[in-house]
Amino acid sequence: MEESRKIMLKVDGLRAYYKTRSGERIRAVDNISFNLMEGEILGIAGESGCGKSTLAMAMSGLFLPPLTYESGSVFLDGENIIGKKEEELRKKILGRKYSYIPQSAMNALNPTLKIKNFVIDLLKEHDPRMSKKKVLDLTTERFESLSLPPWVIDLYPLELSGGMKQRVVIAVSTLMNPKVVVADEPTSALDVTSQKIVIKLIKELFDEGIVKSVIFITHELPILRHVCDRIAVMYAGEFVEIGETEGIIFNPIHPYSQALMQSILVPEVGIKGKKLPSLPGSPPDLRKPIKGCRFADRCYLAIEDCRKRTIGMVEFDSRKVRCIRVDHIKAKEEVVPHVQQ
Ligand SMILES: Nc1ncnc2c1ncn2[C@@H]1O[C@H](COP(=O)(O)OP(=O)(O)OP(=O)(O)O)[C@@H](O)[C@H]1O
Ligand SMILES: [Mg+2]
């Protein structure tokens, strides 16, 4: 079924490292490959520091120091955006075709500018010929269609509540109908009511065809479950499992996915900054090259072979898993999550 749909984003062997002043390389995104289809919402889950936000930035093609490009390609609607100059990316790609909604909504707005002046500056950067009136008409119209009160554009970011700020950021980031939107933990800092409104907003943008495909970075199980078509589980810079949502949540195969799903079934808001309760040890040091499976030191199934060689993704039970022990995982019990509505 998937094959008949268009590939909106094709990420192939992407590596993006931070280079620190002391010359260290932090391998935050290491050999990530996946396809995002048109009409698909993909969730990315993984514990704090595994590289989710770095991946979202790297996929934009813009590498701002200390983040550096190492290797791989990112095809956005058929066009490789890796290697494009910053000016071209800012004018033609960012916001227009690929929109990254950063983890903290506040970072996306300028606290010294009213929303309308911020939007005018933003859109004029993309299209200097656009008149102020046109920018404001477009913004007001979009705000209205997303049930955001139009008077909000006359406020400063600090005058908005957290939920409202997040909705404004999402509306503003998608004004130019980007094909791919990456929302980085858009609901983490919000109460349940605001979370629901934000999710509804993203679904509306998607259902109305304003955006074609969405990547949702989140730890919230109800969001993963109700919003995403597929989920990718990330660990120490790599994807360890990717597949259909229900399978990943109720029947995770990779030992790390199992631990992650068990931990996020705990009904608390997010796991950010917390260690997984059911998992001994901690993730590997991303400054050091790692031979073999990155999860081996914490894995109940690890054998000598796991540490000897690079472990690739294997197809298993209609998904992809980075594990050579998949055959030994069959006898596990099914996880029954507690899903908050
Ligand atoms: N500016 C930076 N300079 C050096 N290292 C960085 C920088 N930003 C992030 N890192 C490191 O890169 C790795 C991945 O960080 P990233 O922010 O992408 O993780 P994340 O999965 O988004 O975490 P969280 O869930 O907490 O948002 C971490 O080890 C982090 O310490
Ligand atoms: Mg992050």
Tens digits of residue pLDDT in 270-326:
444 445 556 888 999 999 988 999 999 999 999 999 999 999 999 987 899 999 998
How close is the Cα of 151 to the center of ligand 1, in Å? 36
- Architecture of domain 1-97+178-341 in CATH? 3-Layer(aba) Sandwich (3.40)
In this prediction, residue 127 has a pLDDT band, given cuts at 50, 70 and 90, of: confident
Ligand 1 test: best mutation among 26, 55, 215, 218, most atoms within 8 Å of CB? Answer: 26
> What does the pLDDT read at residue 223?
87
Cα–Cα distances (Å) from 306 to 42, 56, 136, 299, in that order, read 28, 29, 57, 10
CA–CA separation, 260 vs 252, rounded Å? 9
How close is the Cα of 48 to the center of ligand 2, in Å? 7
Is 201 close to ligand 1, i.e. is its CB under 6 Å away? Answer: no
Q: Which residue's CA is minimally distant from atom 16 of ligand 1?
A: 51
List CB-based neighbours of ion ligand 2 within 5 Å.
52-53, 103
> What does the pLDDT read at residue 337?
45
* DSSP code at position 94: B
Give the chain's length.
341
How close is the Cα of 46 to the center of ligand 2, in Å? 10
Tell me the per-residue pLDDT of 239-256, one tens digit each, with 9 for 90 and over: 999 999 999 999 999 999
Per DSSP bridges, beta strands 230-235 and 314-316 are unpaired
Is 240 close to ligand 1, i.e. is its CB under 6 Å away? Answer: no
CA–CA separation, 67 vs 17, rounded Å? 6
Q: Could you tell me the residue ranges of all domains in the chain?
A: 1-97+178-341, 106-177
CA–CA separation, 290 vs 327, rounded Å? 24
Is 48 close to ligand 1, i.e. is its CB under 6 Å away? Answer: yes
Ligand 1, atom nearest to 219 Cα: 25
Per DSSP bridges, beta strands 7-19 and 67-76 are antiparallel
CA–CA separation, 18 vs 237, rounded Å? 12
Mean pLDDT of 157-172: 92
> What does the pLDDT read at residue 321?
96
Tell me the per-residue pLDDT of 14-27, one tens digit each, with 9 for 90 and over: 999 999 999 999 99
